[in-house]
Each structure stands twice: as C-alpha cells, then as structure tokens.
C-alpha cells in the first residue's frame, strides 16, 4: 500500500471584525471591544461559504458580570481562575468550541456557554461543552500531529443559528492544569457552516442531462493531458476528492449508491485487496459524499494519507449534542470539519465516516471510502483502523436505532473489504496514548468503542452498550455463519 502526505494545508484565512453590539436585555453585561474574526476566504465554486470567529477569552470577576450566575461555577475569588466573555452580539454561527495554544496541555475544568437564537432572539440556558477532546487527534510523532498548527481543543457543541454568545471557563480545583490555572491562548471558536440550502442527506446525483451521471460517467483523468478532468464549476481540490471514489460513483457525484451483497464484492479491488472473490463482504450502504454534504475542499490539506489495511473500526460520538434535525446533518458535518481543520489545526476532518440520527452515512476524511485512509479519531490507534462517528451525544441518551443499524451496515461492508470479521479480535500496535504505551501490541475487538483504545467516555455509555449486538448484526450482514 502507498502512503504519501501533502506538505501544506490549504486553509485560506481573511481578517474580519465581529462587532459586539448593544443587546436588547438591560440585564446583560456591557459588550467588550471589537474582537477579531477568522474564516476562509471566498468559497470554492459550488461550496457553501462558511466562517470561523475566534474570540480570546479574558479574565472575569467571580460573579459581578454573570447574567445569570453560571451553574456549577465557583463564585469565590480564592478558587480557580475563570475566563470567559460577557454577553455580546456577534456574526451568525451554529457551533461553538474552545481551543488553546498547546495541544499537549491537558485542560481540566468546565466550559459553559449560552447563546442567543437567530430565530427567536431568546437566550438559551447555560450549556456544558465536553472538555475531553484530546483523545480525538492524530497519533503522537506523526506528521499531522507535528505540523505546528495543531491546538488543544474541547469537543464542539452544535447550538443552531445564533447571534449572541456568553462564555465561562473555570479550571478544576486540584486538576492537572498549568501553573496559571488555565492553558494559554484560550479562545472561543464560533463556526458558521455556510449555506444550509445546499445538498442534504437525501441528495441525488446530477440530473440526467449532466455528463457526469451513472449513464454517462466522466473519467477522472484526461487521457490527453494525464491530469484530473474538471467538471464545470469544479476546483482541482474537489476533483481530487471526488475522483478517489470513482468508479463507485462518477466524478461530481453527491452520493455513492447502495449495492446488494453480490455486487459489493467488486469494491474489494478498490481497497487494494485481493478479496474480490471473498464471500464475507456486506452490502454497500448509500454514502453521501463530501460534495454531497458540502465540504469546502480548499480547507483541507492537499493529498491523502493511507495506511496498510483496515483491521478495526472505532465507534465514536461527536459529543456535539442531539439538538439537530436530520436535514441539518450536512451543516453539522461542515461545522465539525471546519472546527477540526481551521480551529484545531488538523489536516482534514478526523473521522473516516459519520452517521446521523436518521441512519444516513457520510464520507468523512477524503481519500476514498473504500480505501484505508489514515484518520485522526483515536489517538494511538489511527493506523490500520477506521473511525465512525455517530453525530450526537450518548452519555445519558440512547442512540436512535436507525443510527446503530447504519453502523452495522457500514462496518459489514468496509471491514469485509479487508477480510475482517466484526465479531473477532485483532491486534493493533499502539502509537502512544493514555492507556497503552507506544509500540505495545494491543488485543482489541474488531468493532471497538473509542474508550477501548483511550481513557475517555466516548462514545457515551448508551452507544457503547450497543456495540455487542452491532458486532453480531454486522457479521450477519457479511453472511458469516
């Protein structure tokens, strides 16, 4: 198998201003001075425009400027340092997260936000942001981890279209924090996913008059020039990403169609495995491509990175909350992608696949859904594995059956391409983490939860308990006795 890495990341940034205006409620704190906003420049043709506002968190008093008091936060000036932002109006955003300068700095503390809805102008209650996110990252000592762009980050939280923000961050008493109490360079990231009127989870391929339809496939390579062929309005980055899924879908396709079990065996050739005649490949599920969910391909680093095989699948939850409709899942995914790349400094979205609450499967990190693409989902075990993230939070909420069933269908197909039995165990070599020393050989379930490879609550207690029946269902779909 090949393994190559592009040397630069295609993130274009432009300076802008987020002007904190006077808010309607007199009980809210006076907004601070204007804060900077960071985002991509003009979106590539066909890609929805998005932006990221990055606002530094500043020291705040123990109680005077809290509107209202933050549940669970200390009001004593003798207790740990608190930073945040007073209530203010900002440009529209839909997802929030907190980042800091040094990715190796462990943040033990609490982050809470409240936001103002664009639709109703009402402020939400205080909401907790999951602070345990360091385990979702590239392995130590990898090129991606050592790029100099990677930052520490919390999990992102989807809040829906909002135009007001208030933030409080407090170090945990006795936690493993730096001497100043909180990591340096902490700031809130406010992510706008861009136009949500684009392709949705039920998107179809281009109309029948388009040359890039299944009946009139377009070769990804111009035979005369030996270069990628571009459809009208398509950038080179878009063509590069889309061509990685040819011939499963034509260049420019918004989804990869489902196949029955017999026809899915041909996909093994695309996985560079001599398994075309193997009987244990599950039927291919429908997969919404990156073009289908509106990924801005100019954000990610150019090129793809591959590992040798796919021996295991790690199941995650995004910890971004459950307050989204299935029609909004592409916008949530665009926000997660932008947060991973622009805010956290990764080369691409970390997960290889995502699944929404209605059971729609989405292509994650670019490089081809049938390929062994190196992700950044389970620190220490990204090599020879795949990461599947169910969009939502399942620590105290049960995952929808449709989502669990989709994980079984996806793993039956993808693991089958590489000859892996979903009910079996496999051995992975640790790349370093907080459970297993770097270089150690670890015996894991072929379908594992994130917590099996790293000390974390992910994928949430209720999703984790669904893994045993998922293994059985996945193996059955492969046709195993």
pLDDT at 204 exceeding the cut of 80? no
Cis preceding-peptide flag for 247 (omega within 30 of 0): yes
Task: With cut-offs at 50, 70 and 90, classify the pLDDT of residue 8.
Answer: very low
pLDDT mean over 402-418: 97
Same domain, yes or no: 174 and 295: no
Q: Is residue 424 part of a domain?
A: yes
pLDDT mean over 4-29: 35
How many domains does one find in the chain?
A: 2
pTM of structure: 0.84
Same domain, yes or no: 167 and 263: no
Task: With cut-offs at 50, 70 and 90, classify the pLDDT of residue 316.
Answer: very high
CA angle 47, 53, 54 (to 5 degrees): 130
Task: With cut-offs at 50, 70 and 90, classify the pLDDT of residue 461.
Answer: very high
Per-residue model confidence (pLDDT) at position 163: 98
Same domain, yes or no: 59 and 165: yes
Same domain, yes or no: 293 and 147: no
Same domain, yes or no: 155 and 34: yes
Q: Is residue 197 part of a domain?
A: no
Same domain, yes or no: 443 and 335: yes
Per-residue model confidence (pLDDT) at position 327: 96
> Per residue in 219-271, pLDDT tens?
455 545 556 667 788 899 999 999 999 999 999 999 999 999 999 988 888 87
pLDDT at 141 exceeding the cut of 70? yes
Per-residue model confidence (pLDDT) at position 71: 65
Say if CB 51 and CB 66 are below 8 A apart: no
pLDDT mean over 147-164: 93
Same domain, yes or no: 173 and 281: no
The percentage of the chain sitting over the pLDDT mark of 90, rounded to a whole number, equals: 62
Q: Is residue 236 part of a domain?
A: no
Per-residue model confidence (pLDDT) at position 143: 83
Rounded mean pLDDT of the chain?
82
Per-residue model confidence (pLDDT) at position 20: 36
Distance CA 206, CA 341 (A): 28
Q: Is residue 4 part of a domain?
A: no
pLDDT at 145 exceeding the cut of 90? no
Same domain, yes or no: 307 and 172: no
Indicate which CATH number applies to the domain containing 315. Answer: 3.40.80.10
Task: With cut-offs at 50, 70 and 90, classify the pLDDT of residue 6.
Answer: very low
Lowest mean pLDDT among 146-155, 351-360, 448-457: 146-155
Of 159, 192, 225, which residue constitutes the final position of a domain?
192
Q: Is residue 378 part of a domain?
A: yes
Per-residue model confidence (pLDDT) at position 191: 98
> Per residue in 28-84, pLDDT tens?
443 333 344 444 433 444 556 799 999 999 998 654 445 555 666 655 544 568 999
* Pairwise pLDDT comparison (132 vs 261), residue with the higher score: 261
> Per residue in 361-392, pLDDT tens?
999 999 999 999 999 999 889 999 999 999 99
Distance CA 247, CA 105 (A): 44
Same domain, yes or no: 54 and 160: yes
Q: Is residue 235 part of a domain?
A: no
Domain extent, residue 292, equals: 256-478
3-state secondary structure the chain: CCCCCCCCECCCCEEEEECCCCCCCCCCCCCCCCEEEEECCCCCCCCCCCEEEEEECEECCCCCCCCCCCCCCCCCCCCCCEEEEEEEEEEEEEEEEEEECCCCCCCCEEEEEEEEECCCCCECCCEEECCCCCCCCCCCCCCCCCCCCCCEECCCEEEEEEEEEEEEEEECCCCCCCCCCCCCCCEEEEEECCCCCCCCCCCCCCCCCCCCECCECCCCEECCCCEECCCCCCCHHHHHHHHCCCCCCCCCCCEECCCCHHHHCCHHHHCCCCCCCCCCCCCCCCEECHHHHCCCCCCCECCCCECCCCCEEEEEECCCCCCCCHHHHHHHHHHHHHHHHHHCCCCCCCCCEEECCCCCEEECCCCCCCCCECCCCCCCCCCCEEEEEECCCCCCCCCCHHHHHHHHHHHHHHHHHCCCCCCCEEEEECCCCCCCCCCCEEEEECEEEHHHCCCCCCCCHHHHCCHHHHHHHHHHHHCCC
Of 192, 209, 234, which residue constitutes the final position of a domain?
192
Distance CA 395, CA 398 (A): 8
Q: Is residue 198 part of a domain?
A: no
Q: Is residue 77 part of a domain?
A: yes
CA angle 155, 158, 160 (to 5 degrees): 160
Same domain, yes or no: 161 and 289: no
Same domain, yes or no: 188 and 267: no
Same domain, yes or no: 284 and 172: no
Of 171, 192, 213, which residue constitutes the final position of a domain?
192
Per-residue model confidence (pLDDT) at position 144: 84
pLDDT at 313 exceeding the cut of 70? yes
Per-residue model confidence (pLDDT) at position 69: 57
């Amino acid at each position: 198998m090949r393994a190559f890495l592009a040397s630069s990341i295609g993130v274009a940034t432009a300076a802008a201003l987020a002007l904190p205006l006077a808010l309607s409620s007199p009980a809210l704190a006076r907004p601070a001075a204007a804060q900077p906003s960071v985002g991509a420049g003009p979106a590539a043709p066909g890609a929805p425009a998005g932006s990221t506002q990055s606002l530094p968190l500043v020291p705040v008093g123990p109680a005077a400027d809290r509107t209202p008091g933050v549940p669970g936060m200390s009001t004593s000036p003798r207790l740990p340092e608190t930073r945040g932002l007073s209530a203010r109006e900002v440009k529209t955003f839909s997802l929030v997260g907190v980042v800091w300068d040094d990715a190796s700095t462990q943040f033990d503390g609490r982050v809470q936000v409240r936001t103002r809805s664009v639709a109703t102008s009402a402020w939400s209650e205080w909401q907790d942001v999951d602070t345990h996110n360091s385990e979702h990252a590239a392995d130590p000592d990898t090129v991606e981890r050592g790029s100099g762009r990677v930052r520490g980050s919390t999990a992102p939280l989807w809040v829906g279209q909002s135009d007001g923000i208030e933030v409080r961050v407090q170090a945990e008493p006795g936690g493993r924090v730096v001497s100043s109490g909180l990591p340096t360079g902490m700031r809130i990231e406010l992510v706008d996913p861009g136009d949500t009127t684009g392709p949705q989870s039920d998107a179809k391929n281009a109309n029948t008059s388009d040359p890039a339809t299944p009946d009139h496939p377009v070769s990804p390579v111009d035979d005369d020039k030996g270069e990628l062929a571009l459809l009208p309005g398509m950038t080179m980055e878009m063509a590069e990403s889309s061509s990685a899924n040819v011939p499963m879908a034509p260049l420019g396709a918004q989804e990869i169609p489902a196949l029955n079990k017999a026809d899915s065996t041909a996909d093994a050739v695309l996985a560079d495995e001599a398994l075309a005649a193997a009987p244990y490949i599950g039927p291919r599920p429908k997969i919404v491509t990156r073009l289908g969910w509106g990924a801005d391909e100019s954000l990610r680093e150019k090129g793809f990175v591959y590992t040798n095989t796919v021996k295991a699948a790690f199941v995650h939850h995004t910890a971004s909350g459950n307050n989204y409709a299935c029609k909004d899942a592409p916008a949530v995914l665009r926000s997660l992608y932008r947060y991973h790349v622009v805010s956290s400094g990764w080369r691409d979205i970390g997960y290889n696949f995502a699944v929404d609450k209605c059971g729609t499967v989405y292509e994650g990190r670019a490089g081809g859904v049938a390929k062994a693409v190196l992700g950044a989902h389970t620190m220490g075990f990204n090599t020879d594995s795949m990461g599947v993230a169910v969009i939502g939070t399942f620590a105290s909420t049960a995952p929808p059956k449709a989502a669990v069933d989709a994980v079984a269908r996806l793993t039956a197909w993808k693991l089958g391409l590489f000859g892996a039995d979903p009910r079996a165990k496999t051995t992975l070599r640790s790349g370093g983490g907080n459970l297993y020393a770097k270089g150690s050989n670890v015996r894991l379930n072929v379908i594992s939860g994130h917590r099996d490879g790293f000390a974390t609550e992910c994928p949430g207690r209720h999703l984790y308990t669904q893994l045993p029946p998922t293994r059985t269902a996945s193996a059955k779909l492969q046709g195993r006795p």
